[in-house]
Amino acid sequence: AVFYRELPKVELHAHLNGSVSAQTIEKLISRKPHLNIEHSMTAIGKGQRRTLDECFEVFRVIHKLVDTEEDILMVATDVIKEFAADGVKYLELRSTPREERDTGLTKRSYIETVIKAIQKCKEEGVDIDVRFLVAIDRRNGTEVALETVNLAEEFMLSSDGLVVGIDLSGDPTVGHGKDLLPALQKAKNSGLKLSLHLSEIPSQLDESDLLLSLPPDRIGHGTFLHPEVGGSQSLVDKVVQKKIPIELCLTSNVKGNTVPCYAKHHFKYWYELGHPTVLCTDDKGVFCTDLSQEYQLAASTFGLSHEAVWKLSQQAIDSIFGPETVKQQLKEKWNDLHPQLF
């Protein structure tokens, strides 16, 4: 277990409000005792499984606990420090800007506060490079998606390179990608990178085909893309030809019941193809995991040697949305750390 913690890691798929640890949830609960929220309502423990629907209910509970600038600052700061303590050297956080009438929170101040947390950690010398992806919740439709992209474009220019892209997430059973395509295209044209949740559930083949035409810069999950699970060879061919890296979250998919067991996770399919795959946590708080545990799980499930695990974490650097200079710095860091682990 020490190897996996000390392994330098890149985390590219982490939803802010899904990443809140038990300790931070306790602090939030004590700030808002009147909500009568218990910790069991915000996390899915070992051996437990839920439907995706139930997972989205958990996010609604957490959103009640996180509804002021002060909350967001604490949550983001804690989450960044926890990833750093787990050996993550580069982190892309994603979060959906929310407005809350009761507390005066606006989408703009939401993004500003996440940026403030990133800057605060940097000033404190936390050993991690953090970037931000502004998330579009697919449930909210065309207008909100455009509004979100406009905000993200603005922050891309004013945040000193901290805002680097757009995430498309939210309940995959609601809405259709075709309504979001213009906003995503606009984002791409302006230089924002795109990470899109694709084929997280079966029956999204048309949507995935459409969104792949953008093409996105990375894919979240892609659970049902390949033909063995009802996807199609032509979807796989597109992903392979365009070399679009896939973010894979083992525990999240098993606990959220879209994958029957670890051994049947689609990591195997894409890894054996030699396609760029990046292990990620998704929601480390909700699914009670961390990135070292995800690497360890992949290794024990699929029989990866320490060398193979090292290569996996090193190759993740090529899939980051940060600039080329950061890639180079990370590669040097990995080279410096290699002798300590082997």
113 binds ligand 5GP (CB under 6 A): no
197 binds ligand 5GP (CB under 6 A): yes
269 binds ligand 5GP (CB under 6 A): no
Strands of the chain (E only): list them. Answer: 9-15, 88-95, 129-137, 163-169, 193-198, 218-221, 246-248, 277-279
Strand partners, 105: 100
| Least distance CB 197 / ligand 5GP (angstroms) | 5
* Dist CA 281 CA 18 (whole Å): 10
15 binds ligand 5GP (CB under 6 A): yes
Nearer to ligand 5GP, 65 or 304 (CB): 65
216 binds ligand 5GP (CB under 6 A): no
Query: One of 92, 153, 200, 247 is an active-site residue; which one?
Result: 200
Task: Specify the stretch interacting with ligand 5GP by CB under 6 A; choose among 16-24, 152-160, 210-218, 331-339.
Answer: 16-24
96 binds ligand 5GP (CB under 6 A): yes
Which structure tokens are listed for 103? Answer: 């507390």
Q: What is the DSSP string of 22-72?
A: HHHHHHHHHH-GGG---GGGS---TT----HHHHHHHHHHHHHH--SHHHH
Size of residue set near ligand 5GP by CB under 6 A:
17
**Residue 132 buriedness (CB in 10 A; 0-12 / 13-18 / 19+):** buried
| Least distance CB 302 / ligand 5GP (angstroms) | 21
Active site residue 200: yes
One character per residue 282-321, x = contact with ligand 5GP (rule: CB under 6 A): xx--------------------------------------
Which structure tokens are listed for 215? Answer: 């093409």
Pairing type for strands 129-137 and 163-169 reads: parallel
170 binds ligand 5GP (CB under 6 A): yes
Q: What is the CA radius of gyration of the chain?
A: 19
- Residues 6 or more apart in contact with residue 143 via CB below 8 angstroms: none
Catalytic annotation, residues: 200
* List of residues contacting ligand 5GP (CB under 6 A): 15-18, 59, 95-96, 135, 137, 169-170, 172, 197, 200, 252, 282-283
